Amino acid sequence: MSEAAETRTRHPARGAGLAALLPRRNTRTRRPPGAPQMGPIVPAASIASRSLTMVVAIMSFLACLTLGAVTLVRDASRDWQNDVTRELTIQIRPVDGIDADQEAAKAASIAAAQPGVASARALEQWENAKLLEPWIGSGLELTDLPIPRLVVVTLDAPDAVDLSALSARLAAEVRGASLDDHRTWSDRLKTMANATVIVGFSILGLVFVATVLSVVFATRGAMASNDDVVSVLTLVGAEPRFVAREFQRHFLLLGLRGGLAGAIGAALLFALLSLTIGRSFATPESDQVSALFGQFAIGPTGYVGAVAIAFLIAVMTAVTSRITVYRAIAGGI
């Protein structure tokens, strides 16, 4: 090595500095005013990260929409069940020689005396006629026909009513009376409502799984375009922790942006729907719709859930990028 060392001591450029050997240009030491701050280590915008934002926004929108729909259906089914179980009907078949109207009044007074009953009212003749109108037409004299009388009983505390006692008392005291507690209907409706809610939650689950998978894969896709950044950072001696933190921060922001965009979109849609459906009240169609879906209002659960979904998706994006960084670094030496 001494030979090489000798060559070095003879070298003409010694001491002059390499700058003298390299082309001299108009150098400046200061960053010009207005020059950008240090650029982010993770490239701010790439095609992959833009499409990731889109995927995150769309999936978050769909998940929020599903969540909203499921809460809506659940609330509606609860309302149906409540409405149905809050009403009873007593039917009095006409029996020869007995005044059905009188029996109906008696049944009404018996029912009204029961605990948990709000009111009991025998339907008037004209009301019966109206109910039958679709089948037998209007303008008929019904007094001659053996039409059963109906007593509508509304309950304020369905659980407090002893249905079997009421039914036994009616059978004993009122001739031709039978109690219809709508149980067949209500059971069928309950089954249907439960099934709807279960299907809704299953769909919500599937949408969540699809969201997780697509966000994870889109994040990994976006990370693949950053492989070079990860390997250069590692080779210049960056700690894996540092690299992971940089990517995690970038992807958390990206996920938040996408997630919130989707959630806000879904919330706006719900607000718009409940507004338009609320507006068209007092039309027969809207009455039917509100009978089915209740007030079409997404409760606080829906809105809180939407925000929660947005944050969940953002965190998922960030964690996926972190795991990908650690995997990429571990793949090296």
Partner 1 sequence: MSGNQTRGPRPVFALFGWQGADERRENRVIVNRSLTARGESRGVCEGGGSGVIRFENVGLRYGMGPEVLRDLNLRIDPRSFQFLTGPSGAGKTTLLRLLFLALKPTRGLITVFGRDTATLPKADLPALRRRIGVVYQDFRLLDHLTTFENVALPLRVLGREESSYRADVVELLKWVGLGDRMHAYPPVLSGGEKQRAAIARALIGQPEILLADEPTGNVDPPLAKRLLRLFIELNRLGTSVVIATHDIGLMNQFDARRLVLHEGRLTIYE
- 236 part of the interface to partner 1, by CB under 8 A: yes
Q: Select from 26-34, 117-125, 205-213, 285-293 the region that touches partner 1 (CB under 8 A).
A: 26-34
User: Which C-beta is closer to partner 1: that of 53 or that of 66?
Assistant: 53
- 34 part of the interface to partner 1, by CB under 8 A: no
Closest separation in Å from C-beta 29 to partner 1: 5
Judge whether 323 and 248 are in contact, CB under 8 Å.
no
Residues contacting 103, CB < 8 A, separation 6+? 92, 149, 174, 175, 176, 177
Total binding residues toward partner 1, as defined by CB under 8 A: 51
User: Which C-beta is closer to partner 1: that of 6 or that of 156?
Assistant: 6
- 7 part of the interface to partner 1, by CB under 8 A: yes
How big is the CA angle at 149 (ends 148 and 155), to the nearest 5 degrees?
Answer: 130
Nearest to 213 by CA among 70, 316, 318: 316
What b-and-e string marks burial along 292-314, b requiring 16 or more CB atoms within 10 Å of the CB?
Answer: eebebbbeeebbebbeebbbbbb
What secondary structure letter does DSSP report for 36?
P
- 124 part of the interface to partner 1, by CB under 8 A: no
- 33 part of the interface to partner 1, by CB under 8 A: no
Binding test (CB under 8 A) with partner 1, winner from 115, 134, 139, 237: 237
Strand order in the sheet with 149-155: 117-122, 149-155, 87-92, 177-180
- 47 part of the interface to partner 1, by CB under 8 A: no
Binding test (CB under 8 A) with partner 1, winner from 103, 163, 229, 287: 229
DSSP H helices in the chain: 2-10, 47-85, 100-113, 125-136, 163-173, 183-224, 227-235, 240-279, 284-293, 300-331
For residues 134 and 243, what is the distance between their CA atoms, to the nearest angstrom? Answer: 76
Binding test (CB under 8 A) with partner 1, winner from 31, 33, 141, 184: 31
- 326 part of the interface to partner 1, by CB under 8 A: no
Binding test (CB under 8 A) with partner 1, winner from 6, 124, 162, 187: 6
- 227 part of the interface to partner 1, by CB under 8 A: no
Binding test (CB under 8 A) with partner 1, winner from 133, 173, 228, 287: 228
- 332 part of the interface to partner 1, by CB under 8 A: yes
Neighbours of 96 (CB within 10 A): 5
Instruction: Summarize as ranges the residues that interact with partner 1 (CB under 8 A).
Output: 1-9, 11, 13-19, 21-29, 31-32, 35, 38-39, 41, 43-44, 228-229, 231-240, 242-243, 330, 332-333
